Amino acid sequence: MLTDRFARRFTYLRLSLTERCNFRCTYCLPEGNDCDTAESDLNIHEVRRLLTAFARLGTRKVRLTGGEPALRRDLGEIIGLCKSIPGIEKVALTTNGYNLQKEISGWKKAGLDALNISVDSLDPTIFSRITGADRLHYILQGIDQALQLNFQKVKLNTVLLRQHNTHSLPGFLRFIKDRPVSLRFIELMRTNDNIDFYQEQHLSGEFIRHQLMEDGWQLQPKTATDGPALEYAHPDYAGRVGLIMPYSKDFCASCNRLRVSSKGELFLCLFADEHQSLRELLQSDDPAPVEAFLQRAIGGKEESHHLHQQRSGQTRHLAMIGG
């Protein structure tokens, strides 16, 4: 079991499959993909070795992310691989949904359990202004298709932006009235590339929390394996609302996740000052050196990120490590 100095247990791995992306979200990659080529991404054998070692140390859930993970042609194969690794119980994917309709049933067949789709606005014009992609209609149809396929969980991720989301709550609530999705509002995080944008657009999630409480939404109890999100439910709604507020007090106390980049670098925190490369150790089928590396590295995990001191570590943008 991977446990740190603060008795936090790490059972959840977020694995980035590529830094590449086909969207240009204003808060993430406004100039588009400035990242690596497909050749630098971990190959499927390296992914298998990595996951085997993590699973032997207690990892039970894997989230595949990016960049845009659906740009990987072997994504279905990787999902199947994750499912086949002894110990891995849940495989989740975070995607911008650009290819959702076409791919979703294949991913489900490969063994995908849960799906997060980023939807920053339900207004097609605003959506394409934020993402650079005129594709909202298609993505929403893909979400309905995913709901018909009975995934364990379908979540929508919405980044809170002052310019666009101050008045968007009623529209989002209408959307989840009859849809059993968990809509998660994520506070914009400062990265090294978005400092000015962050100053202009950061919006605390507190106003949403107040509004939900006033309207009779109830905070749901957390289980031991739940991460830092708060989740609210209401008897009149099929869906739930989650809040991810990394700037709130004690956000890091319930951290249960580690991250590996598409180049095989271990990030102990989304905003870590350094990362450590595992790639050389992934060239052999022996999991023991990878396990020893992880056991040693976990001792260096800090108690909290330093976003409050305006420090984002080495993180230029979240496409580097998948959010």
Q: Where on the chain is the footprint of ligand SAM (CB under 6 A)?
A: 21, 27-28, 65-66, 68, 94-96, 118, 157, 159, 186, 188-189, 191, 194, 318-319, 322-323
CA-based Rg of the chain, rounded to a whole angstrom? Answer: 19
DSSP letters for 169-211: HHHHHHHHSSS--EEEEEE----TT-HHHHHHH---THHHHHH
Minimum CB distance to ligand SAM smaller for 50 or for 186: 186
Known binding-site residue numbers for [4Fe-4S] cluster:
21, 25, 28, 252, 255, 269
Question: Cα separation of 46 and 52, whole Å?
Answer: 10
Cβ-in-10-Å burial (0-12, 13-18, 19+) of 87 comes to middle
Token code pair at residue 15: 């694995």
277 forms bridges with which residues in the sheet? 265
Those residues with Cβ within 8 angstroms of residue 135's Cβ, 6 or more apart along the chain or in another chain: 97, 98, 127, 128
Q: Does 96 bind ligand SF4 (CB under 6 A)?
A: yes
The partner in contact with residue 258, picked from ligand SAM, ligand SF4, none with C-beta cut-offs of 5 to 8 angstroms by kind, is none
* Smallest separation (angstroms) from ligand SF4 to the CB of 204: 20
Site string (13-52) toward ligand SF4, x via CB under 6 A: --------x-x-x--xx-----------------------
State yes or no: residue 99 binds ligand SF4 (CB under 6 A). Answer: no
Our CB check for ligand SAM shows the closer of 94 and 165 to be: 94
Q: How far is the CB of 120 from ligand SAM (least distance, A)?
A: 7
Residue 246 binds ligand SF4, judged by CB under 6 A? no
Give the C-alpha separation, 231 to 56, whole Å. 30
Contact 257, 15 (CB under 8 A): no
Residues binding ligand SF4 (CB under 6 A): 21, 23, 25, 28-29, 66-68, 96, 118, 319
